[in-house]
């Protein structure tokens, strides 16, 4: 999952970025509204964390432009002014959630988890694929209730494939969802991540098929079923 933080307080933006990266998200940050609007128009993200009080272009205008492009990306608004009028205005423009500064980091992380689940289709916390279970809250993967040790990048890769189960995901889409600006991640590196993930999921009969020249597809084995709890 890839998150854009639009926050002009560099210390707060850096702290949020570090925390979310530790939870396995790819995170990019911008510090004014023009940069935010340009980034959102150019690249896909799974969540926007948006400060209302951005310089050069307000957060409300960034949000208005985002929704005018028919984007359904989840948006979490941050603001130092916790007034009813501010909340109503942001929600009316299409925000999905609202937090007033200062806030507890643990609460923001919980809201991020809820919003990214909602953006992936509103599914529940547990995703199942045959014998595999993925806990989106704890970001833990198990096969037959046995923990599967995955790196943060491998967890994010599996999450993308699970959210598009049965459909082809191109290498470019994987790069866009998994990698931050400035990361030199080639399609060859994506192949390595997929290879490692395949090996770790083999005990659960979970198959990641290669669509030659195009990308990958998470397939169900015969008799396996997708479900959720």
Cβ-contact 77, 99 below 8 angstroms: yes
Tens digit of each residue's pLDDT (9 = 90 or more) over 2-20: 899 999 999 999 999 999 9
34 and 97 housed in the same domain = yes
pLDDT band at 226 (very low <50, low <70, confident <90, very high): very low
Sign of CA dihedral 137, 138, 141, 145: negative
142 and 82 housed in the same domain = no
Torsion on CA atoms 10, 13, 19, 20, rounded to nearest 10:
-150
Of 119, 136, 171, the position where a domain reaches its end is 119
38 and 65 housed in the same domain = yes
The count of domains in the chain is 2
Cβ-contact 46, 2 below 8 angstroms: yes
163 and 95 housed in the same domain = no
152 and 198 housed in the same domain = yes
pLDDT band at 51 (very low <50, low <70, confident <90, very high): very high
Residue 81: how many CB atoms within 10 A of its CB? 11
23 and 110 housed in the same domain = yes
pLDDT at residue number 124: 56
Q: CATH number of the domain that 170 lies in?
A: 1.10.10.10
Domain hosting 201: range is: 126-228
For 201, half-sphere exposure in the C-beta direction (CA atoms, 13 angstrom radius) is: 29
pLDDT at residue number 18: 92
82 and 184 housed in the same domain = no
Q: How far apart are CA 208 and CA 105, in angstroms?
A: 35
Of 67, 94, 119, the position where a domain reaches its end is 119
Q: In what order do the strands lie in the sheet with 207-211?
A: 169-170, 215-219, 207-211
> Does the pLDDT of residue 172 top 60, yes or no?
yes
Q: CATH number of the domain that 51 lies in?
A: 3.40.50.2300
Q: How far apart are CA 181 and CA 221, in angstroms?
A: 36
99 and 136 housed in the same domain = no
Tens digit of each residue's pLDDT (9 = 90 or more) over 117-163: 765 554 556 788 889 999 877 788 999 999 999 988 888 889 889 88
Q: In what order do the strands lie in the sheet with 47-51?
A: 26-30, 2-6, 47-51, 75-79, 97-100
Q: How far apart are CA 213 and CA 112, in angstroms?
A: 34
Q: Nearest-CA neighbor of 175 among 166, 192, 187, 163?
A: 187
Cβ-contact 21, 27 below 8 angstroms: yes
100 and 194 housed in the same domain = no
Of 78, 103, 119, the position where a domain reaches its end is 119
The stretch 26-30 carries a mean pLDDT of 93
113 and 139 housed in the same domain = no
86 and 162 housed in the same domain = no
55 and 70 housed in the same domain = yes
């Amino acid at each position: 999952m890839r998150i854009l933080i639009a926050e002009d307080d560099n210390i707060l933006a850096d702290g949020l970025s570090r925390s979310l990266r530790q939870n396995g998200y790819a995170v990019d940050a911008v510090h004014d509204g023009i940069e935010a609007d340009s980034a959102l128009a150019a690249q896909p993200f799974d969540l926007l964390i948006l400060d209302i009080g951005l310089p050069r272009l307000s957060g409300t205008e960034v949000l208005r432009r985002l929704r005018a492009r028919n984007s359904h990306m989840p948006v979490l608004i941050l603001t130092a002014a916790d007034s009813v009028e501010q909340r109503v205005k942001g929600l009316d423009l299409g925000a999905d959630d609202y937090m007033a500064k200062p806030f507890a980091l643990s609460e923001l992380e919980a809201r991020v988890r809820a919003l990214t689940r909602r953006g992936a289709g509103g599914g529940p916390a547990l995703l199942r694929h045959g014998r595999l279970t993925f806990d989106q809250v704890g970001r833990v993967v198990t096969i037959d209730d046995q923990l599967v040790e995955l790196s943060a990048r491998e967890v994010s890769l599996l999450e993308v494939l699970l959210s598009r189960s049965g459909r082809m995901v191109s290498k470019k889409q994987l790069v866009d969802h998994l990698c931050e600006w400035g990361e030199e991640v080639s399609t060859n590196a994506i192949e390595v991540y997929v290879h490692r993930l395949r090996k770790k999921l083999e005990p659960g009969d979970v198959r990641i098929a290669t669509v030659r020249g195009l990308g990958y597809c998470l397939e169900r084995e015969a008799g396996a079923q997708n479900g959720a709890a």
